[in-house]
Amino acid sequence: MALRIIHEEGDAVLLKKSRPVTDFDKRLHILLDDMRETLLNAGGVGLAAPQVGVLRRAVLVMDTNKEGLTEEEQIIELVNPQIIEQDGEQTGQEGCLSVPGVYGIVTRPEHVRVRAQDRSGQTFEVEGTGLTARCFCHEIDHLDGHLFTEKAQRILSEEELQEMNGEN
Ligand code: ZN
């Protein structure tokens, strides 16, 4: 496994639409393994392939609602993910490893159901609520070239960020 560079806002790769994964081969497995290592190293809750410069429809989401799992075990790999159901609404703070130090207020569904393939091409469905639902939406947006900053009602100010850090 190897760490990959996380591309940041301003890099054109983040604005492009990713292509579906068609080959569930060693190349995909290396990409997913590298993404896992990169995500854990960066301390995020999700990562999409375009963030590491690969325009393929693959993302990782950490299911932080699951207790008793290690960070590594919380990672869900989703290849060619699609939101097939969504309901409710949540408005809250969101950030992105590609937009370091910036947080905004974004409204997302409270609950989503996602259909995806695993690394061997097997189709499965997974549900998420709260932060996990937010993360599914955020990562899938990356595959269509969208960043959370486009959807944010507003970006938090310096003062708000300091307050937020102070609370932690
Ligand atoms: Zn992001």
How would residue 158 be classed by pLDDT, with cut points 50, 70 and 90? confident
pLDDT number for residue 161:
86
Between 141 and 163, where is the model more confident? 141
Tens digits of residue pLDDT in 46-70: 999 999 999 999 999 999 877 889 9
Pair of tokens at residue 80: 């060619």
Give the active site residues.
Answer: 139
Domains of the chain: 12-164 (3.90.45.10)
Tens digits of residue pLDDT in 81-92: 999 999 999 999
**Angle CA 135–161–106, to nearest 5:** 35
Dist. CA 16 → ligand 1 center (Å): 14
As a whole number of angstroms, the distance between CA 33 and CA 98 comes to 19
As a whole number of angstroms, the distance between CA 39 and CA 98 comes to 12
The predicted model gives 129-149 an average pLDDT of 97
Residue 168 scores a pLDDT above 70: no
pLDDT number for residue 163:
85
> What are residue 85's DSSP bridge partners?
113
What SS3 class is residue 123? strand
Dist. CA 148 → ligand 1 center (Å): 7
Residue 166 scores a pLDDT above 80: no
Dist. CA 49 → ligand 1 center (Å): 10
Pair of tokens at residue 127: 């549900």
State pTM to two decimals. Answer: 0.95
Tens digits of residue pLDDT in 4-15: 999 999 999 999
Pair of tokens at residue 98: 């590609």
Cβ atoms < 10 Å from Cβ of 67: 6
Dist. CA 147 → ligand 1 center (Å): 6
Residue 155 scores a pLDDT above 90: yes
Dist. CA 27 → ligand 1 center (Å): 23
pLDDT number for residue 167:
61
pLDDT number for residue 66:
77
